[in-house]
Amino acid sequence: MRLLLPTRRPVAGPVRADNSLADLVGIACHDLRGSLAAVYGLARTLSLHPDIAQRGELVRLMGASAQQFGELLDDLELVARIEADWFEPSMAEADSIGLAQTAAVEPSDVRVAVSGEGASILVPQHAPRLLARVAEYAALRGGREDIKLVVHGSLLELSPISRATGRALIENENLPIAVAATVALIEATGGSLRVDDQRLRIDLPTPSVGG
Amino acid sequence: MAEDTRFPQLVALACHDLRTPLATVYGFARTLTRTELDEPSARYLQMIQAASQQLGELLDELALVARIESGRFEPNVTQTDSLELAQSAAAELSEERLVVSGEGAPVLVPLEQTSRALARLAKAAARHGGHEEVSLVVRGPELELSPVSRSAGPVVLGEELRELSAAAAVALIEAIGGSLQVDGERLVITLPNK
């Protein structure tokens, strides 16, 4: 059984409060991560004990849930950092078709069919996972189990997107935290999103623009 | 969604999303503890349960602040005696001790949330002041927490964000019409009585 460690990021020291919820969320993520690390470490230790072997599936699911919790915390912290202007993106150069293909094989409840031609783009950490969450949200909210992701250089097109889903994405309305984090991240790194004729068009920054 | 409420609402939704995997961890740990297990597995599971509970409490506090920030906080206030409230807060603490004395008076507060807030402030005063024990003297609607060291003062006033619990406690007390101020080595907490 393999349990991956949840992401842990360096945490800033004490923060002067300016009544900013974003500051508080940063502290909350730190506090929550402390307890989560205990849960995770103990679940991992438990999985190695012989008397647990027969009940290994429960422990594996506990570990998977703890990992999901960690990812949600990462997303919440990311939005808080962007909101509080603390965000310093660590961007790496990548190929857009490679990003799309990696996103398509992320664990998901939907199938993502990738096609098109890539180009050099700049991507931040966690980009494939976040793109996968957007694709999953767009498909499931539109009542579908699959979705197309067509790559045109630095432009990624997800389709079909229902009118309600498009509106929610553009107006940032009641989005799951991973999707809200993706929208915020794309905008904070110089990219953009727009909905056009049942397609969500995601323009990603390129080395010449973003670099 | 209006810009000033967008982020608090997002935080509230995030708290909701975070509860789902947490419920899985807690539920499975609970199920496993009902089966026969050798040591140290049983002890580890108890620790997982305790950590999960703590995570749930932290999420409650974060969700509370998000509701307050977005103007959607509607406290369910009840008239209670301030001394009983302080005693209830003392009972919530485990590692740190809170010694309660004084004379109570009727106050109008959300009971559980205020009791927890007082406990969290006492814990922050003890932890950041390096004390194992702090005292809470009740004078009607005013509660005096001491000693509050120079380093603990900004934390229990919510001016320096070091822990979520203390900041959430301050947000709650202010949202229900109470106030907090540091006077020397005391934190004076005034609870609403109307």
Q: Do A69 and B54 touch (CB under 8 A)?
A: no
pLDDT over 80 at A190, yes or no: yes
pLDDT at A2: 32
pLDDT at A140: 94
pLDDT over 70 at A156, yes or no: yes
pLDDT at B4: 63
pLDDT at A19: 44
- Nearest Cβ partner of B28 from A58, A69, A174? A58
Which sign does the torsion angle of CA A92, A95, A100, A105 carry? negative
pLDDT over 50 at A3, yes or no: no
Q: Residues B187, B180: contact at Cβ < 8 Å?
A: yes
Per-residue tokens: A188? 């904070």
DSSP sequence for A43-94: HHHHHTSGGGGGGHHHHHHHHHHHHHHHHHHHHHHHHHHHHTT------EEE
pLDDT over 70 at A160, yes or no: yes
pLDDT at A4: 35
Residue A16 Cα to chain centre, angstroms: 28
Burial class (CB in 10 A: 0-12, 13-18, 19+), A61: middle
Q: How far is A142 from chain B (nearest CA, A)?
A: 20
pLDDT at B3: 53
- What percent of chain A has a predicted confidence (pLDDT) above 70? 86
Residue A22 with chain B: CB contacts under 8 Å: 7
Q: Average pLDDT of A200-204?
A: 95
Q: Do B31 and A58 touch (CB under 8 A)?
A: yes
Q: How does residue A53 score in pLDDT terms, banded at 50, 70 and 90?
A: low
Q: Average pLDDT of A155-167?
A: 94
- Is B117 an 8 Å CB contact of chain A? no
Contacts of B20 (CB under 8 A, 6+ apart): none
3-class secondary-structure state, position B191: coil
Which parts of chain A fold into alpha helices (H)? 21-47, 56-83, 96-104, 127-141, 163-171, 177-188, 207-210
pLDDT at A14: 42
- What percent of chain B has a predicted confidence (pLDDT) above 90? 49
pLDDT digits (tens, 9 = 90+) for B56-94: 888 888 888 888 888 888 999 999 999 999 999 999 987
Q: Residues A142, A160: contact at Cβ < 8 Å?
A: yes
pLDDT digits (tens, 9 = 90+) for A63-80: 888 888 888 888 888 888
**Residue B80, CB half-sphere, CA atoms under 13 Å: how many?**
18
Instruction: Tokens 């429960």: give the residue.
Output: A58
Greater confidence (A6 vs B149) lies with: B149
Greater confidence (A81 vs A113) lies with: A113
pLDDT at A211: 44
Q: State the angle between helix axes of A177-188 and A56-83 in degrees (0 to 180), rounded to the nearest 10.
A: 40
Greater confidence (A48 vs A131) lies with: A131
pLDDT < 50 positions in chain B: 1
Backbone angles phi, psi at B89, to 5 degrees: -65, -40
Q: Residues B148, B129: contact at Cβ < 8 Å?
A: yes
ipTM reported for the complex, 2 dp: 0.72
Q: Do B55 and A39 touch (CB under 8 A)?
A: yes
User: What is the distance between the alpha carbons of residues B52 and B46, in angstroms, rounded to a whole number?
Assistant: 10
Residue B162 with chain A: CB contacts under 8 Å: 14, 27
pLDDT at A126: 82
pLDDT at B5: 64
Q: What is the mean pLDDT of chain A?
A: 82
3-class secondary-structure state, position B132: coil
Q: Do A28 and B164 touch (CB under 8 A)?
A: yes
Question: Maximum CA pair distance of chain B?
Answer: 55
Greater confidence (A31 vs A95) lies with: A95
Residue A31 with chain B: CB contacts under 8 Å: 58, 163-165
Q: How does residue A86 score in pLDDT terms, banded at 50, 70 and 90?
A: confident
Q: How far is B172 from chain A (nearest CA, A)?
A: 13
pTM of the full structure: 0.77
Backbone angles phi, psi at A86, to 5 degrees: -100, 0
pLDDT digits (tens, 9 = 90+) for A109-148: 899 999 999 999 998 888 898 999 999 999 999 999 999 9
